Chains A and B, each alone.
Chain A
Amino acid sequence: MSSKQKRKLTEFLFLLPTLIAFVMVIIIPFIYGIYYSFTDWQGTGAATKNVGFDNYAVIFQDAGFLHSFLITLLFTVLNVITVNVVAFVISLLVTSEIRGRNVYRAGFFVPNLIGGIVLGLVWQFIFSNILPSIGQSLGWSALSKSLLTNKDTVMGTMVTVNTWQYAGYIMLIYVASIQGISKSVLEAAEVDGARYWTRITKIQIPLMANAFTISLFLTLTNSFKMYDVNVALTNGGPVGMFMGKPVQASELLALNIYQTAFKYNNMAQGQAKAVIFFVVLTIFSIIQVSYNKSKEVEA
């Protein structure tokens, strides 16, 4: 065996433990999942039979699923914008010469350390108890009812909570990227008479393009897969109407899949929804990453 082959073998052996774990917990269940989506599997080990594309056909007539799909897209768009705008603004803030910026950095990051379920319950209390009582005592009609149980405002509450939780994390990526920009480039721009706004838009943002690629990818997938805050904050409610059917106004895709599988005990159909979910999320992610990659430049 040549030394090159030996090296390859060593590399492979080092890789093996991780590879085995990855295959066992990701690849095999994934293949099983696709298989089960074509059966009438009930999740209890009872015998299954092949039903072809029936599960998929039913899904596309399911008003609840289509509604979840649309509001997930809406939530993703809103959430990606708010999280990244907020994160970018606060990252500019904490990299400026402001006093106590380290305290701010820690403070903005802390919400990300709180688990989604706890966070959802805390904010549920804020939205359904604290804000209404503030609204009532001040006589503001907009606040006097819970924003969670109004189908027109519930998506706003989800975006608010998720931004509060996630912006601090994305901020860290932007901060690292801003600190990585060479001082000489910025100084040269300043000497040439570029104003603050111009420096941000013409120098910093283009040089931070790789940070935008990763941040947008993280927020896109995170928003699309949103589950914990959804279940703890709103439980999918309140009820709205869509295509003449009652639907859960804030039930995002992940929660809809979970409810199909566990509440309606329709494992195979939930699995079929999950396959669609995977395909759509993959397509969106690839489009986003390849678009952002094309914008990346070197200084």
Chain B
Amino acid sequence: MKKLVALALTLALVLMSVGALADLVICQNKVEITTQMEAYAKLYEEKTGVPVKVITGGGSSDYNTVLKAEMQSGREPDIWVIEGPSSYELWKDKIADQAGADWVQYTAAAYMDGDKVVGFPVAVEGYGMAYNKNILDKAGIDPATLTNYDAYAAAFEKLDSMKDELGLDMVVSMVAGTVPGMTWVTGLHNFNVYLTVGNERNDTTYIDQVLAGKVDPERFHQYCQYVALLFKYSDPDMLINGTQDSQLAAFANGKAAFYHQGNWMDPSLVALNPDFEIAYAPHAFLHEDTDGILVNPPSWYVVNENGNKDEAIAYLNYLATSEDGANYMVNEAAMVPAFTNVTLAPATPLSKSVMEWNAAGKTYDWQQYKLPDGFGMGTLGPIYELLASGAIDVDAFEAMMIEAIAGIAK
């Protein structure tokens, strides 16, 4: 009898320790909200008793690398982030269908695979050319006119000539360096400008061409000229050495009139207390007018079919439908939620601007994540750096980009 009791106790102990291990593990890719997300995870644990562990990869480290390492580690995350079709295809055997979950009814931006609801939209994100309104006012530039290449070229030239009186170090705060790991800004986000600006949201003409190894010569030529324009009016040292932090600091301290980043930088931007009005202007790279910024759910939370599935879905439901969740998304993480039931409006400048462009229906799609893995950052990114460092001119840049894209089809 004694033996049996001892055995039962041991078993109970073992089961309890397994239970304690079986918390939720989330692997996510937004370094800039790590603190906020961990605080929310703690709050969630207080409210529900479910311990949540957040693993973050991103920024200068590569999220996909971190995720793959976690997957191989034997303790697969219960929730992780997919960034679009290529990461969905990679993991689709492990991803659970969340159809019927509470949150699904409140959004139109879920990631769908046929009838299956597989991805919870993390947020809506947008990027364009963020501008410092005070500086543009002083220079007599109306941001509403920045809707084509020629308007930008004229505005940059004017600002450049007034650098001293405006206190500017550079016109555009832009980064392209491989050493600080910033090639996602150029090889993915900037390249997407070529892919979608001016098109209907579901139009995949240019990405389809690129995946077949081709570009539209005239449009691509104009795009390359635009890249060269951005680089010309940026700071050469910032382009190669700049990190996400130094790029932001130049803009937030009023040393740059434009800033090539998205609204995910809001928490860091607000922390630097910029004392001027900020909004987005379009990436209008064509000679014709295009009026819209690039907006999309950049990523979706997916749930592990083999993991702690019910707890994971409960976590996502709470995020989308509770006040705590809304407060975290809007006020803490400064994201623009993709859910209609959330009525809080963001107080931070970049997110506010994204919400306004989104409400006006002036948005273009994100299709950079349809590129093959590593292609944008690893293959195109270095070519941007060559142009930024002055090692090649814009014609060589165009030729090398076209050659690299032709390599996809092989």
Contact = CB atoms under 8 A, between A and B. Distances in A.
A129 B229 CA distance: 27
Contacts, number: 82
Given A46-B93, A265-B90, A238 B64 contact: no
Interface string A260-271: 001111100000
A207 to B, nearest CB: 45
Interface residues of B, number: 31
B240 A238 contact: yes
A235 B68 contact: no
Contacts of A199: none
B391 A241 contact: yes
Given A248-B178, A262-B68, A264-B374, A238 B385 contact: yes
B374 A259 contact: yes
A288 interface: no
Nearest to B94: A44
Contacts of A266: 373-374
Given A238-B240, A241-B391, A262-B64, A149 B179 contact: yes
B89 to A, nearest CB: 10
B177 interface: yes
Contacts of A148: 179, 241
A42 interface: yes
A176 B361 CA distance: 74
B179 A237 contact: yes
Contact of A236 (B65, B178, B240): B178
Given A149-B179, A238-B179, A239-B178, A263 B374 contact: yes
A179 B48 CA distance: 65
A146 B241 contact: yes
Contacts of B378: 259, 263-264
Interface string A109-135: 000000000000000100010000000
A245 B93 CA distance: 37
Contacts of B180: 235
A239 B62 contact: no
Interface string A223-257: 00000000000111111010000111000000000
B139 to A, nearest CB: 29
Contact of A42 (B65, B90, B377, B385): B90
A239 B90 contact: no
Contacts of A124: 179
Contacts of B119: none
B386 A44 contact: no
Contacts of A128: 179, 241
Contact of B93 (A44, A241, A247): A44
Interface in A197-219: none
A43 interface: yes
B276 interface: no
A246 B64 CA distance: 23
B268 interface: no
28 contacts: A43-B72, A124-B179, A128-B241, A145-B237, A146-B237, A148-B179, A148-B241, A149-B241, A235-B60, A235-B181, A236-B178, A237-B177, A237-B382, A238-B177, A238-B179, A238-B240, A239-B178, A239-B389, A241-B391, A246-B386, A246-B400, A262-B64, A263-B62, A263-B374, A264-B372, A264-B374, A265-B64, A265-B373
Closest 3 CB pairs of A and B: A237-B178, A264-B374, A265-B373
